[in-house]
Amino acid sequence: MDGAGPVVVVAGAGALPALLIRALDAASRERRVIALKGFADAAVARGADRTMSLLDVSGILAQLAAWRPAAVTLAGGVVRPSPAALAGGVAAWRNRRELAELFARGDDHLLRGVVALLEEEGHRVVGAHEIAPDLLAPAGVLGAVSPEAEAWRAIETGFACLAVLSPFDVGQACVAVSARVVAVEGAEGTDRMLARVGGSVGGRLAGLLPALIPASRRAKPAAGVLVKSAKTGQDHRVDLAASGPRTVRNAARAGLAGIALGAGATLTIERDAMIAAADRAGLFLVGVDPARPGEVPA
Protein backbone atom coordinates (compact mmCIF):
# COMPACT_ATOMS: atom_id res chain seq x y z
CA MET A 1 0.00 0.00 0.00
CA ASP A 2 2.80 2.41 -0.86
CA GLY A 3 2.10 5.73 -2.51
CA ALA A 4 0.50 8.97 -1.46
CA GLY A 5 -3.17 9.16 -0.64
CA PRO A 6 -5.47 7.01 1.45
CA VAL A 7 -6.43 3.39 1.02
CA VAL A 8 -10.17 3.30 0.32
CA VAL A 9 -12.23 0.40 1.60
CA VAL A 10 -15.48 0.01 -0.32
CA ALA A 11 -17.38 -1.94 2.31
CA GLY A 12 -19.96 -4.59 1.44
CA ALA A 13 -21.54 -7.15 3.77
CA GLY A 14 -19.91 -9.35 6.38
CA ALA A 15 -17.02 -9.07 8.82
CA LEU A 16 -14.23 -8.57 6.27
CA PRO A 17 -14.45 -4.78 5.84
CA ALA A 18 -14.11 -4.20 9.60
CA LEU A 19 -11.07 -6.51 9.69
CA LEU A 20 -9.40 -4.56 6.88
CA ILE A 21 -10.15 -1.22 8.53
CA ARG A 22 -8.65 -2.58 11.74
CA ALA A 23 -5.53 -3.77 9.87
CA LEU A 24 -5.09 -0.37 8.21
CA ASP A 25 -5.53 1.42 11.53
CA ALA A 26 -3.06 -0.93 13.24
CA ALA A 27 -0.52 0.00 10.53
CA SER A 28 -1.40 3.70 10.99
CA ARG A 29 -2.29 3.79 7.33
CA GLU A 30 -4.44 6.69 6.14
CA ARG A 31 -7.79 5.29 4.99
CA ARG A 32 -11.27 6.22 3.84
CA VAL A 33 -14.36 4.05 3.93
CA ILE A 34 -17.35 4.01 1.62
CA ALA A 35 -20.09 1.93 3.22
CA LEU A 36 -22.39 0.38 0.62
CA LYS A 37 -25.94 1.08 1.67
CA GLY A 38 -27.86 -2.07 2.51
CA PHE A 39 -24.72 -4.20 2.62
CA ALA A 40 -22.17 -2.79 5.08
CA ASP A 41 -22.46 -3.75 8.75
CA ALA A 42 -24.05 -1.07 10.93
CA ALA A 43 -20.79 -0.48 12.83
CA VAL A 44 -18.82 -0.01 9.62
CA ALA A 45 -21.52 2.26 8.22
CA ARG A 46 -21.45 4.42 11.38
CA GLY A 47 -17.68 4.89 11.12
CA ALA A 48 -17.60 5.33 7.34
CA ASP A 49 -16.66 8.54 5.56
CA ARG A 50 -19.53 8.04 3.13
CA THR A 51 -22.52 5.75 2.83
CA MET A 52 -23.41 5.32 -0.81
CA SER A 53 -25.59 3.17 -3.01
CA LEU A 54 -23.94 0.38 -4.96
CA LEU A 55 -25.94 1.70 -7.89
CA ASP A 56 -24.57 5.23 -7.54
CA VAL A 57 -21.59 4.43 -9.70
CA SER A 58 -21.05 8.02 -10.84
CA GLY A 59 -21.12 9.25 -7.26
CA ILE A 60 -18.64 6.61 -6.08
CA LEU A 61 -16.28 7.38 -8.97
CA ALA A 62 -16.49 11.11 -8.23
CA GLN A 63 -15.76 10.54 -4.54
CA LEU A 64 -12.77 8.32 -5.36
CA ALA A 65 -11.43 10.89 -7.82
CA ALA A 66 -11.67 13.54 -5.11
CA TRP A 67 -9.79 11.38 -2.58
CA ARG A 68 -7.03 10.41 -5.05
CA PRO A 69 -6.42 7.11 -3.24
CA ALA A 70 -3.19 5.10 -3.30
CA ALA A 71 -5.36 1.98 -3.59
CA VAL A 72 -8.97 0.86 -3.50
CA THR A 73 -10.22 -2.42 -2.13
CA LEU A 74 -13.66 -3.93 -2.59
CA ALA A 75 -14.41 -5.92 0.54
CA GLY A 76 -17.39 -7.97 1.60
CA GLY A 77 -20.30 -9.41 -0.25
CA VAL A 78 -22.64 -7.51 -2.51
CA VAL A 79 -24.64 -10.49 -3.64
CA ARG A 80 -28.36 -10.73 -3.00
CA PRO A 81 -29.11 -7.03 -2.83
CA SER A 82 -31.34 -6.14 0.07
CA PRO A 83 -34.27 -3.81 -0.54
CA ALA A 84 -32.29 -1.04 1.17
CA ALA A 85 -29.46 -1.49 -1.32
CA LEU A 86 -31.82 -0.95 -4.19
CA ALA A 87 -33.74 1.98 -2.76
CA GLY A 88 -31.63 4.50 -4.67
CA GLY A 89 -33.55 4.03 -7.87
CA VAL A 90 -33.25 7.67 -8.81
CA ALA A 91 -29.49 7.62 -8.32
CA ALA A 92 -29.41 4.46 -10.39
CA TRP A 93 -31.27 6.12 -13.21
CA ARG A 94 -28.66 8.85 -13.36
CA ASN A 95 -26.01 6.12 -13.72
CA ARG A 96 -27.70 4.01 -16.29
CA ARG A 97 -24.91 4.28 -18.81
CA GLU A 98 -22.26 2.99 -16.39
CA LEU A 99 -24.62 0.28 -15.21
CA ALA A 100 -25.35 -0.82 -18.76
CA GLU A 101 -21.63 -1.26 -19.29
CA LEU A 102 -21.23 -3.27 -16.09
CA PHE A 103 -24.17 -5.50 -16.82
CA ALA A 104 -23.04 -6.03 -20.40
CA ARG A 105 -19.93 -7.70 -19.01
CA GLY A 106 -22.08 -10.38 -17.42
CA ASP A 107 -24.03 -9.71 -14.29
CA ASP A 108 -22.43 -12.53 -12.32
CA HIS A 109 -19.21 -10.70 -12.94
CA LEU A 110 -20.36 -7.41 -11.56
CA LEU A 111 -17.41 -7.11 -9.21
CA ARG A 112 -14.89 -7.81 -11.94
CA GLY A 113 -16.63 -5.20 -14.01
CA VAL A 114 -16.23 -2.77 -11.14
CA VAL A 115 -12.52 -3.59 -10.91
CA ALA A 116 -12.09 -2.95 -14.64
CA LEU A 117 -14.05 0.28 -14.39
CA LEU A 118 -11.94 1.50 -11.46
CA GLU A 119 -8.75 0.66 -13.33
CA GLU A 120 -9.96 2.54 -16.37
CA GLU A 121 -10.42 5.51 -14.06
CA GLY A 122 -6.76 5.17 -13.06
CA HIS A 123 -7.23 3.57 -9.66
CA ARG A 124 -5.10 0.80 -8.25
CA VAL A 125 -7.34 -2.00 -7.02
CA VAL A 126 -5.95 -4.33 -4.36
CA GLY A 127 -7.28 -7.47 -2.71
CA ALA A 128 -8.13 -7.93 0.95
CA HIS A 129 -5.16 -10.30 1.25
CA GLU A 130 -2.82 -7.48 0.19
CA ILE A 131 -4.07 -5.31 3.04
CA ALA A 132 -4.24 -8.06 5.65
CA PRO A 133 -2.14 -11.03 4.50
CA ASP A 134 -2.59 -12.78 7.83
CA LEU A 135 -6.23 -13.40 6.87
CA LEU A 136 -5.05 -15.95 4.29
CA ALA A 137 -5.45 -19.55 5.47
CA PRO A 138 -2.08 -21.04 6.48
CA ALA A 139 -1.01 -24.62 5.71
CA GLY A 140 -1.37 -27.28 8.36
CA VAL A 141 -3.86 -28.60 10.87
CA LEU A 142 -5.40 -25.53 12.51
CA GLY A 143 -7.51 -27.03 15.29
CA ALA A 144 -7.40 -29.89 17.76
CA VAL A 145 -8.77 -32.53 15.36
CA SER A 146 -6.71 -34.09 12.55
CA PRO A 147 -8.19 -35.61 9.39
CA GLU A 148 -8.16 -39.40 9.17
CA ALA A 149 -7.00 -41.33 6.09
CA GLU A 150 -10.49 -41.45 4.57
CA ALA A 151 -10.82 -37.69 5.01
CA TRP A 152 -7.48 -37.12 3.28
CA ARG A 153 -8.83 -39.05 0.34
CA ALA A 154 -11.86 -36.75 0.28
CA ILE A 155 -9.57 -33.71 0.51
CA GLU A 156 -7.58 -34.86 -2.52
CA THR A 157 -10.80 -35.58 -4.39
CA GLY A 158 -12.20 -32.15 -3.58
CA PHE A 159 -9.11 -30.23 -4.65
CA ALA A 160 -8.87 -32.29 -7.85
CA CYS A 161 -12.50 -31.48 -8.62
CA LEU A 162 -12.04 -27.75 -8.00
CA ALA A 163 -8.96 -27.85 -10.25
CA VAL A 164 -10.79 -29.40 -13.21
CA LEU A 165 -13.67 -26.95 -12.73
CA SER A 166 -11.33 -23.98 -12.83
CA PRO A 167 -11.85 -23.18 -16.55
CA PHE A 168 -15.61 -23.12 -16.06
CA ASP A 169 -15.72 -20.26 -13.60
CA VAL A 170 -17.71 -22.29 -11.08
CA GLY A 171 -16.82 -23.98 -7.84
CA GLN A 172 -14.85 -22.25 -5.15
CA ALA A 173 -15.98 -25.05 -2.90
CA CYS A 174 -17.30 -28.59 -2.97
CA VAL A 175 -18.17 -31.38 -0.61
CA ALA A 176 -16.34 -34.67 -1.14
CA VAL A 177 -16.87 -38.07 0.43
CA SER A 178 -13.92 -40.35 -0.17
CA ALA A 179 -13.47 -40.51 -3.98
CA ARG A 180 -16.82 -38.90 -4.77
CA VAL A 181 -18.00 -35.30 -4.91
CA VAL A 182 -21.54 -34.85 -3.64
CA ALA A 183 -21.99 -31.11 -4.15
CA VAL A 184 -20.34 -28.31 -6.10
CA GLU A 185 -20.84 -24.70 -5.10
CA GLY A 186 -22.32 -22.39 -7.70
CA ALA A 187 -23.56 -18.83 -7.38
CA GLU A 188 -25.54 -19.74 -4.26
CA GLY A 189 -22.51 -19.71 -1.95
CA THR A 190 -21.06 -22.12 0.60
CA ASP A 191 -23.77 -21.81 3.25
CA ARG A 192 -26.56 -22.80 0.90
CA MET A 193 -24.48 -25.62 -0.60
CA LEU A 194 -23.91 -27.02 2.90
CA ALA A 195 -27.62 -26.73 3.64
CA ARG A 196 -28.49 -28.92 0.69
CA VAL A 197 -25.81 -31.47 1.55
CA GLY A 198 -27.29 -31.77 5.02
CA GLY A 199 -30.72 -32.43 3.53
CA SER A 200 -29.56 -34.91 0.93
CA VAL A 201 -30.49 -38.53 0.47
CA GLY A 202 -27.36 -39.87 2.10
CA GLY A 203 -28.07 -37.92 5.23
CA ARG A 204 -31.67 -39.08 5.42
CA LEU A 205 -30.97 -42.73 4.78
CA ALA A 206 -28.06 -42.66 7.18
CA GLY A 207 -30.47 -41.41 9.81
CA LEU A 208 -32.32 -44.71 9.61
CA LEU A 209 -29.27 -46.81 10.29
CA PRO A 210 -29.30 -46.76 14.06
CA ALA A 211 -32.87 -48.08 14.06
CA LEU A 212 -32.11 -50.86 11.61
CA ILE A 213 -28.64 -52.15 12.16
CA PRO A 214 -26.70 -52.85 15.34
CA ALA A 215 -23.64 -50.61 15.68
CA SER A 216 -21.32 -53.61 15.57
CA ARG A 217 -22.53 -54.49 12.06
CA ARG A 218 -22.61 -50.97 10.74
CA ALA A 219 -20.03 -49.78 8.23
CA LYS A 220 -18.68 -46.47 9.50
CA PRO A 221 -20.11 -43.80 7.19
CA ALA A 222 -17.45 -42.18 5.06
CA ALA A 223 -16.45 -38.69 6.15
CA GLY A 224 -17.76 -35.73 4.17
CA VAL A 225 -15.32 -32.86 3.80
CA LEU A 226 -15.89 -29.27 2.71
CA VAL A 227 -13.04 -28.27 0.41
CA LYS A 228 -12.76 -24.57 -0.29
CA SER A 229 -10.19 -22.77 -2.39
CA ALA A 230 -9.92 -19.98 -4.92
CA LYS A 231 -9.90 -20.98 -8.54
CA THR A 232 -6.60 -21.36 -10.33
CA GLY A 233 -5.83 -18.14 -12.16
CA GLN A 234 -8.69 -16.35 -10.41
CA ASP A 235 -8.36 -12.64 -9.80
CA HIS A 236 -7.80 -12.68 -6.05
CA ARG A 237 -8.80 -9.04 -5.80
CA VAL A 238 -12.45 -9.96 -6.01
CA ASP A 239 -14.44 -12.73 -4.52
CA LEU A 240 -11.59 -14.61 -2.83
CA ALA A 241 -13.21 -17.59 -1.11
CA ALA A 242 -13.71 -16.80 2.57
CA SER A 243 -14.66 -18.90 5.58
CA GLY A 244 -15.51 -18.08 9.14
CA PRO A 245 -17.16 -19.48 12.25
CA ARG A 246 -20.51 -19.70 10.44
CA THR A 247 -18.91 -21.96 7.81
CA VAL A 248 -17.81 -24.30 10.58
CA ARG A 249 -21.26 -24.33 12.18
CA ASN A 250 -22.93 -25.06 8.85
CA ALA A 251 -20.43 -27.82 8.06
CA ALA A 252 -21.15 -29.40 11.44
CA ARG A 253 -24.90 -29.15 10.82
CA ALA A 254 -24.40 -30.89 7.45
CA GLY A 255 -22.72 -33.79 9.26
CA LEU A 256 -19.28 -33.23 7.75
CA ALA A 257 -16.06 -34.47 9.32
CA GLY A 258 -14.09 -31.34 8.60
CA ILE A 259 -13.01 -28.47 6.37
CA ALA A 260 -9.97 -28.18 4.11
CA LEU A 261 -9.00 -24.69 2.99
CA GLY A 262 -6.66 -23.79 0.16
CA ALA A 263 -3.62 -22.42 2.00
CA GLY A 264 -2.91 -18.93 0.69
CA ALA A 265 -5.97 -19.23 -1.54
CA THR A 266 -8.80 -18.52 0.91
CA LEU A 267 -9.47 -15.95 3.58
CA THR A 268 -10.23 -16.98 7.14
CA ILE A 269 -12.49 -14.48 8.87
CA GLU A 270 -12.18 -14.48 12.69
CA ARG A 271 -9.83 -17.43 12.56
CA ASP A 272 -9.60 -17.96 16.33
CA ALA A 273 -13.37 -18.18 16.66
CA MET A 274 -13.40 -20.47 13.65
CA ILE A 275 -10.87 -22.86 15.22
CA ALA A 276 -12.74 -22.78 18.52
CA ALA A 277 -15.99 -23.61 16.74
CA ALA A 278 -14.31 -26.51 14.90
CA ASP A 279 -12.84 -27.89 18.12
CA ARG A 280 -16.21 -27.65 19.87
CA ALA A 281 -17.95 -29.47 17.01
CA GLY A 282 -15.22 -32.11 16.67
CA LEU A 283 -14.46 -31.05 13.10
CA PHE A 284 -11.00 -30.85 11.64
CA LEU A 285 -9.86 -27.61 10.04
CA VAL A 286 -6.82 -27.87 7.83
CA GLY A 287 -4.99 -25.64 5.38
CA VAL A 288 -3.75 -27.50 2.32
CA ASP A 289 -1.54 -26.32 -0.54
CA PRO A 290 -3.98 -26.44 -3.46
CA ALA A 291 -1.13 -27.39 -5.81
CA ARG A 292 -0.19 -30.39 -3.66
CA PRO A 293 -3.37 -31.52 -1.90
CA GLY A 294 -2.04 -35.06 -1.42
CA GLU A 295 0.74 -33.84 0.81
CA VAL A 296 -0.15 -34.22 4.48
CA PRO A 297 1.02 -31.05 6.24
CA ALA A 298 3.39 -31.51 9.16
Q: Which residues bind its own copies (CB under 8 A)?
A: 55, 79-81, 86, 89, 92-93, 96-97, 99-100, 103-104, 106-108, 110, 157, 160-161, 164-165, 168-171, 174-184, 186-188, 192, 196-197, 199-202, 204-206, 208-209, 211-214, 217-219, 221-222
Work out how close the CB of 196 gets to its own copies at its nearest, in angstroms, rounded to a whole number.
5
Work out how close the CB of 115 gets to its own copies at its nearest, in angstroms, rounded to a whole number.
17
Work out how close the CB of 146 gets to its own copies at its nearest, in angstroms, rounded to a whole number.
23
- Per-residue DSSP letter, 208: H
- The number of angstroms, rounded, from the C-alpha of 145 to the middle of its chain's C-alpha atoms is 23
Work out how close the CB of 130 gets to its own copies at its nearest, in angstroms, rounded to a whole number.
25
Work out how close the CB of 134 gets to its own copies at its nearest, in angstroms, rounded to a whole number.
30
Tell me if residue 74 falls in helix, strand or coil: strand
User: Closest Cα partner for 73 from 161, 10, 153, 136?
Assistant: 10
Query: Buried (b) or exposed (e) across 15-32, using 16+ Cβ within 10 A?
Result: bbbbbbbebbeeeeeebb
Which residue's CB is nearer to its own copies, number 120 or number 272?
120
Asked if 7 contacts 28 with a C-beta cutoff of 8 angstroms, the reply is no
Asked if 100 contacts 117 with a C-beta cutoff of 8 angstroms, the reply is no
Work out how close the CB of 100 gets to its own copies at its nearest, in angstroms, rounded to a whole number.
5
Which residue's CB is nearer to its own copies, number 247 or number 268?
247
Asked if 51 contacts 40 with a C-beta cutoff of 8 angstroms, the reply is yes
Which residue's CB is nearer to its own copies, number 195 or number 273?
195
Which residue's CB is nearer to its own copies, number 22 or number 204?
204
Asked if 174 contacts 162 with a C-beta cutoff of 8 angstroms, the reply is yes
CA atoms within 13 A on the CB side of 207: 9
Rounded to whole angstroms, the Cα distance separating 64 from 6 reads 10
Which residue's CB is nearer to its own copies, number 84 or number 205?
205
Which residue's CB is nearer to its own copies, number 149 or number 187?
187
